[in-house]
Amino acid sequence: MPTAYDLLTEPIRRYVRDQRWEELRPIQAAAIQHITTSDDNFILASRTASGKTEAAFLPILSKVDFGPPGVRVLYVSPLIALINDQFQRVEQLCQYLDVRVTKWHGEASRADKQSLVRQPTGIVLITPESLEAMFVHSPYSVQALFGHLDYVVVDEIHSFLGTDRGLQLQSLLARLRARQAGRFATVGLSATIGDYAEAKHFTGEPERTRVLLDRAAKEMTTEFRYFPAARLGGDVPLDLLKDLYRQTHASKVLIFPNSRGLAEVIAVKLRQIAERVNGHANYFSHHSSVHKQVREYVEDFAKNNQRQPFCIACTSTLELGIDIGSVDKVVQLDTAQSVASLIQRVGRSGRRDGAPSQLLLYATTPWSLLQSLACWLLYQEGFVEPLRAARQPHDLLLHQALSIVKELGGVGRAELADCLHENPVFAEIALPDLHETLDELLRIDWLEYIGGELIIGVEGEFVVNGRDFFSVFSSEPAYKVVHGGNTIGEIPYSPQVQAEENLFLAARKWKIQFVDTAARRIEVVPAKDGKKPLFFGGGGVVHPRIREKMLELLASDTPPPELNEAGAEALRGLRQEFGTCAWPAEIEHERPVFVQDNGLLLFTFSGTKTNRSLAFLLKRLDVDFTYDEAQSSFALPGVAYRLLSELFEQLHLYAEDVDFHLLQALAETPGLIDFAKWGAKLPPHLQVAVLRERYYDFAGAMAFLSETRLLRA
């Protein structure tokens, strides 16, 4: 039986030899064996830095005939930076076959794109937004370039699962399939998938999709450290910063706070400490508001720096697979919002030489410590949040209807309806709802009906021709920050943005000289102190299993070995607060409620979407309450314990008629639907459907209200 290496063509075998690999990695050997002998779709799942990119491209390049005209392989990435990073790896590999590789995104060379259109060939690396732009503005190029695809490779496929952007990409791939002379196969790459059925569904051919899973785990050392903040939402404790400096000053480190502003605070404060003690100067910040050239410099420094220690305070921009070389430690400041995110971040350390990954978790509140522990324990158990895409994404259908009409330059209504309904992304949307969306587009003049065809309307032209049309996520309005003619980054407008105010950005301190409101430009000079920018955006969605694990930890008396003394004491304090609860042997539906002088404090330990639903129902019932997301608790002033079961019944009744209440809420607060970029243009009852499916979990709320057994504390 031939080995995986034997199945590769000679040029690719020569590449493997030139890399001086002693052997193929497990995911690579498995992928070669299966992809070279089958036309099925595959999901390649293995830990970070396990060689998944080569696992996909080694067999694909050995199998595909690049002789006939047309692009044969399309690589789709969630990040431009990841495309630029992977381009070098894929191009080096393709040099052995004389296969052309082209980057296609907003920052890529226009000359290279034009050359490719004139002579379509090889491999193209693209983002979903650039693919959408091609459909809208260059439909003939789409056909010429991608009409004969053999493979589509989707990198970091988990980042698309369960998201609006993922739905957009699924729709675009379905539209590509409709243009094919034959059929292309899809290969998805990921380190963190919690629901393989959903990943299979993503390919559009779940019955022809197979998962290749490498379960090998990386050795890891973990430590939790607790430094209480003086007040909730206050500055990072000075003792924490000093300890963080001691733990990281001689290492190559990534630090993940949970916000861009906090990343700037960490980078600047650590740099200040280093200056006082004559430490190294390699402190950086890396997030979406730092200018791309600055980010690229940071990435290049980290990747090519062999000896010097460095520290990068970053957000999810360095969570995905951009190669930044060898990192010694990963630090998480306060809890990651998901187990999947924690896995991605942990995988960034110990990437080169087989060294163990080192994870250092800092917490500044007892509840953050509890959630961090819960995520860590679930990670050890192999749990990853399952992400299910919306099955009735009416807002995405509206967007894709406009895109298709613009692509075709005009289309019959029946043909457009068939095109949308045959797309797997919209297959579960009822035809009457589909036509109602088209009617609404006609009513607001985003579509027009002329000569038996739908075309883009006068108002719709402004929408479809704008750069903002290609994305399905909203971006915050931002002001460009400039020093000496060089762009440092962008920050959103806030009361802090005024002359003589100081701020942190790109790990530096700046004084604002003047603000050009018309040009959305801020001129700055170096300063001695500053404040973190007031970035917009809310927290993530916490899965119910994390909250359940938090409850299990509270009800336990086992001291986790990873905690330092201060952390263990903080956990003991929390457990003592709940010590009056009579915990059963198995906790399933039991939830604690504290009777206070002015009312009740109910801890739901439910997921974010269920708690949002409960908050919505309480508000519609006109019940006074305060919700604490970190504690998953509701303070109910004026509510007596004996009346709580009656309140639950009333809330359940409201939940049964929730569509009526959502319609009322939308009329009062149209901004409820703002999380869905195109949702506000839907008919009201379809806005309700989007809210129910993607923002709330009323089924979970009803289950909580009917099944919960209260433990009086």
pLDDT digit string, tens, across residues 401-418: 999 999 999 999 999 999
Query: Does the structure show a pLDDT above 60 at 217?
Result: yes
User: 351 pLDDT band (50/70/90 cuts)?
Assistant: low
The share of the chain scoring above pLDDT 90, in percent, equals: 68
Query: Does the structure show a pLDDT above 90 at 628?
Result: yes
Question: What pLDDT is attached to residue 340?
Answer: 87
Q: Which of 122-131, 343-352, 396-405, 548-557 has the lowest mean pLDDT?
A: 343-352
Q: Identify the sign of the CA torsion 301, 302, 307, 312.
A: positive
Question: What pLDDT is attached to residue 233?
Answer: 55
User: 538 pLDDT band (50/70/90 cuts)?
Assistant: low
Question: What pLDDT is attached to residue 579?
Answer: 87
Average confidence (pLDDT) over 222-233: 82
User: 231 pLDDT band (50/70/90 cuts)?
Assistant: low
- The two beta strands, 521-526 and 508-516, are antiparallel
Q: Which residues are within 8 A (CB) of 689 and not within 5 positions of it... i.e. 6 or more apart?
A: 392, 394, 433
Question: What pLDDT is attached to residue 264?
Answer: 93
Q: In the beta sheet, which residues pair with residue 252?
A: 310
**What value does the mean pLDDT of the chain take?**
91
Question: What pLDDT is attached to residue 391?
Answer: 94
Half-sphere exposure of 585 (CA within 13 A, CB side): 0
Average confidence (pLDDT) over 107-134: 92
Question: What pLDDT is attached to residue 540?
Answer: 81
151, 36 contact by CB (below 8 A): no
| 228 vs 48, residue with greater confidence | 228
Average confidence (pLDDT) over 259-268: 92
User: 539 pLDDT band (50/70/90 cuts)?
Assistant: low
Pick the CATH number of 220-381 from 2.170.190.11, 3.40.50.300, 3.90.76.10, 3.40.50.2300: 3.40.50.300
User: 321 pLDDT band (50/70/90 cuts)?
Assistant: low
Ramachandran quadrant class, 709 (left: phi over 0; alpha: psi -120 to 50; beta: rest): beta
Average confidence (pLDDT) over 602-606: 97
Query: Does the structure show a pLDDT above 80 at 203?
Result: yes
Tokens 């409101």 -> residue = 517
Confirm whether 4-213 and 394-470 share one CATH topology: no
CATH architecture of 4-213: 3-Layer(aba) Sandwich (3.40)
Question: What pLDDT is attached to residue 234?
Answer: 62
Average confidence (pLDDT) over 371-393: 91
| 279 vs 346, residue with greater confidence | 279
Please give the single-letter amino acid code of residue 175.
R
Q: What is the CATH number of domain 394-470?
A: 1.10.10.10
Residue of 477, 476, 569, 462 lying closest to 517 (CA atoms): 477
Determine the distance from the C-alpha atom of residue 92 to the mean position of all C-alpha atoms in its chain, rounded to a whole number: 29
Query: Does the structure show a pLDDT above 60 at 352?
Result: no
| pTM of the complete model | 0.91
Kind and range of the H or E run holding 596: strand 590-596
Question: What pLDDT is attached to residue 598?
Answer: 87
> What ranges do the domains of the chain cover?
4-213, 220-381, 394-470, 478-526, 580-712
Average confidence (pLDDT) over 381-405: 94
Question: What pLDDT is attached to residue 145?
Answer: 94
Query: Does the structure show a pLDDT above 90 at 575?
Result: yes
| 102 vs 517, residue with greater confidence | 102
Tokens read off for 48: 């970070």
User: 536 pLDDT band (50/70/90 cuts)?
Assistant: low
Q: Which of 140-144, 265-269, 317-321, 378-382 has the lowest mean pLDDT?
A: 317-321
User: 610 pLDDT band (50/70/90 cuts)?
Assistant: very high
Question: What pLDDT is attached to residue 491?
Answer: 86
Question: What pLDDT is attached to residue 232?
Answer: 59
Q: Which of 40-44, 178-182, 358-362, 528-532 has the lowest mean pLDDT?
A: 528-532
User: 207 pLDDT band (50/70/90 cuts)?
Assistant: very high
